Structure 1
Amino acid sequence: MTTLTDRPNTALLIVDVQNGVMQGSHDRATVVANIAELVEKARAAGTDVVWVQHSSEELPRGSEQWEYVPELSRREPEPVVHKEYADSFEDTDLEEVLAARGIGRLVVAGAQTDECIRGTLHGAIARGYDATLVADAHTTEDLTAYGAPAPELVIAHTNLYWKYHRAPGRTAGTVPTAEVEFGVKASA
């Protein structure tokens, strides 16, 4: 029950599933396959699919590293939001894209769990959106050399705390890919 008025629609938000991000990611093949399944479910239900694409020194715009993985392809008129910060809302047009489509609920998948996924989930809730994380459709790289837990623990911990996350007038939570149901898009 989003706090955003006149926003009855849901979108699938695909965050940073780019070659340079995914090349060292935990359980890459399974996560990408789950995201592809989510994209097809959303399209079949008439639910908006919104693509987020990160740019940085390691992911220069237009490079092969910056491109989405070949297993996923954006269709016209599915919007792409370009970002430079972890939170997909920060200094981007994501809010305008979602508002124009009457979207108040987000189903989130992608990478990296411990940075852009978490940043985007918290950014969504703070801005009044409902935000559901697809528990088996996000991943991260191994950062244990820097003192981080192993990737599977980062993913499990994020799923645990987001499952129980709460905010006034907004819903959070997790759901596995197999249980995601988009339903039919409400008219705006």
Structure 2
Amino acid sequence: MTTLPDRPNTAVLVVDVQNGVVADAHDRDGVIANINILIDKARTAGVPVVWVQHSSDELEHGSESWRFVPELTRRDAEPLVHKKYGDSFEDTDLEAVLAEHQVGRLLVSGAQTDACIRSTLHGAIVRGYDATLVSDAHTTEDLTKFGAPAPEQVIAHTNLYWQWQSAPGRQGGTVETSEVSF
């Protein structure tokens, strides 16, 4: 249903599952386990897994906090996109990577729900992609001290509003890891 011509393929995005991003994340281990299941399903089906890695003052390139969590293993052949903004498309080569693989549909996982995940979902749909959020494969840290809702509420709300997201010729939606099929 994507509006991108000649893009029949799907890819899995693994966004910012880095030591410094998910150290204090809600249900960290459960979410990482689900991302591993999602990655295994994609690899078995020959679906591209695209890794996105954020750099900032807090996540200095090459530092331990910048590295992906040890529970997840990126294969050398799997694309790696480096970013400095919330939206994984913004000022990156993600669009070129997806075009190379003829991808028009994305399954999005990772962190943080209320920042890079939401930005990437919106970035995808406005650029013509179908963008499905894997509802139990994203997380965020507790930001209640800054006035945010509790992390489980942030996650639930994001799942709620994204399940009906759409635009002309494009579709959002949510799916649980166990229900993902390619």
Spell out, residue by residue over 1:60-91, the C-alpha distance to the aligned partner (whole angstroms, 9 max, x if none).
Answer: 00001000000001102100000000000000
Alignment of 1:79-90 (within 5 A): 79-90=79-90
Partners of 1:12 and 1:175 in 2: how far apart? 13
AA aligned to 2:49 is: V
Partners of 1:84 and 1:75 in 2: how far apart? 22
Tell me the equivalent position of 1:71.
71
Q: Provide the secondary structure at the position in 1 that maps to 2:137.
A: strand
Tell me the equivalent position of 1:120.
120
Tell me the equivalent position of 1:169.
169
Alignment pair present for 1:147 and 2:147: yes
Partners of 2:149 and 2:178 in 1: how far apart? 27
Tell me the equivalent position of 1:9.
9
AA aligned to 1:19 is: N
Alignment pair present for 1:158 and 2:158: yes
Q: Provide the secondary structure at the position in 2 that maps to 1:70.
A: coil
AA aligned to 2:16 is: D
Partners of 2:76 and 2:21 in 1: how far apart? 23
Q: How many residues align structurally?
A: 182
AA aligned to 1:159 is: N
Q: Provide the secondary structure at the position in 2 that maps to 1:98.
A: helix
Spell out, residue by residue over 1:138-161, the C-alpha distance to the aligned partner (whole angstroms, 9 max, x if none).
Answer: 000000000000000000000000
Q: Provide the secondary structure at the position in 2 that maps to 1:67.
A: coil
Tell me the equivalent position of 1:28.
28
Tell me the equivalent position of 1:46.
46
AA aligned to 2:171 is: T
Alignment of 1:85-100 (within 5 A): 85-100=85-100
Query: What runs of 5+ residues in structure 2 fail to find an aligned partner?
Result: none
Partners of 1:102 and 1:27 in 2: how far apart? 33
TM-score by length of 2: 0.99
AA aligned to 2:103 is: I
Query: What runs of 5+ residues in structure 1 fail to find an aligned partner?
Result: 183-188
Spell out, residue by residue over 1:107-159, the C-alpha distance to the aligned partner (whole angstroms, 9 max, x if none).
Answer: 00000000000000000000000000000000000000000000000000000
TM-score by length of 1: 0.96
Q: Which runs of 4+ in 1 moved over 6 A?
A: none
- RMSD over aligned Cα, in angstroms? 0.4
How far residue 166 of structure 1 moved from its aligned partner, in angstroms, is: 1.3
